Amino acid sequence: MLTAEARWIGRILSQLDAEKVSPLLNVGSATAAFREQVQPFIDREIFAPLRNRDVVVDHLDVQEGEGIDLRGDLTDDSFVAGLDGRGYQALLCCNLLEHVPDPGAICAKLERLVPVGGYLIITVPNRFPYHPDPIDTMFRPDVAGLAPLFQHCRVIQGEVLACGTGWDYVDRDPRALLVKVKHRLSGMSEHGGVKGSASFLPWLFRQFRQTCTLFQRQPHSL
């Protein structure tokens, strides 16, 4: 997640009454350490304010780890069916759709998990480097490209948000920067070969953009 993206999500959630977003399902949550230490702005901008408003949040990820409440795969229909009865009023899904082979199928399942009138906050890269986790399909839609995947929702708010450059997200210590660049190049080479490694360095100076969208499920989805 990027800092401006987290601020956008926090602002959107602050505009919605607590009872309209609680309980909330955070899909692709990563661990508590990631949300609070690796990218502390995630907790600061999104989840700390929700806790202050007594909003119940369940963190869902495909991996196990501290701070992950539910472990499961959204491609597993039986797992998704088990989520249906948990009464989620809202759902948050950030930077997941570019990592699945069929984003439309995942979006259809996400819609099922909130009631008519419920909210889905969905973000996805619009301009961002190749980053396999374990794959990156290079799905980079704008709002108009993302909206048709949520056939039973309407867009309440949406924008392509400028989120700074890679330079805004690296340590200004040149030695630390060199270590991070070498680590990133090595990791991307393992997953993506020349495509991954060649694409990273220019993004230190290119503008990142995120498509950030608030959907509401509509009555005709019944």
Residue showing tokens 């399909």:
137
Say whether pLDDT at 193 is over 80. no
Mean pLDDT for the chain overall: 87
Question: In this predicted structure, what is the pLDDT of residue 197?
Answer: 43
The side-by-side arrangement of strands in the sheet containing 207-217 is 70-71, 57-61, 24-27, 90-94, 119-127, 207-217, 153-165
The residue with greater pLDDT, 176 or 41, is: 41
Say whether pLDDT at 93 is over 50. yes
Structural domains of the chain, with CATH: 3-165+207-221 (3.40.50.150)
Say whether pLDDT at 15 is over 90. yes
Query: Is the pTM of the predicted complex or chain greater than 0.75?
Result: yes
The residue with greater pLDDT, 123 or 166, is: 123
Nearest to 25 by CA among 102, 65, 80, 99: 80
Q: DSSP per residue over 83-105, as a string?
A: HGGG--SEEEEES-GGGSS-HHH
The residue with greater pLDDT, 202 or 115, is: 115
Say whether pLDDT at 190 is over 50. no
The residue with greater pLDDT, 182 or 23, is: 23
Give the residue-averaged pLDDT of 37-51: 95
Say whether pLDDT at 163 is over 80. yes
Question: In this predicted structure, what is the pLDDT of residue 201?
Answer: 76
Residue showing tokens 């309980």:
23
Question: In this predicted structure, what is the pLDDT of residue 84?
Answer: 86
Give the residue-averaged pLDDT of 26-45: 94
Say whether pLDDT at 210 is over 60. yes
Encoded tokens for 88: 């989620």
Say whether pLDDT at 208 is over 60. yes
**134 preceded by a cis bond (ω within 30 of 0):** yes
Long-range contacts of 141-144 (CB under 8 A, 24+ apart): 141/211, 142/211, 143/211, 143/213
- CA 222, CA 220: separation in Å to the nearest integer? 5
Residue 63 carries which DSSP code? S
Encoded tokens for 79: 């797992």
Question: In this predicted structure, what is the pLDDT of residue 133?
Answer: 84
Say whether pLDDT at 161 is over 80. yes
Tens-place pLDDT, residues 67-92: 999 999 998 999 999 998 899 999 99
Say whether pLDDT at 192 is over 50. no
Question: In this predicted structure, what is the pLDDT of residue 200?
Answer: 65
Nearest to 74 by CA among 28, 137, 132, 134: 28
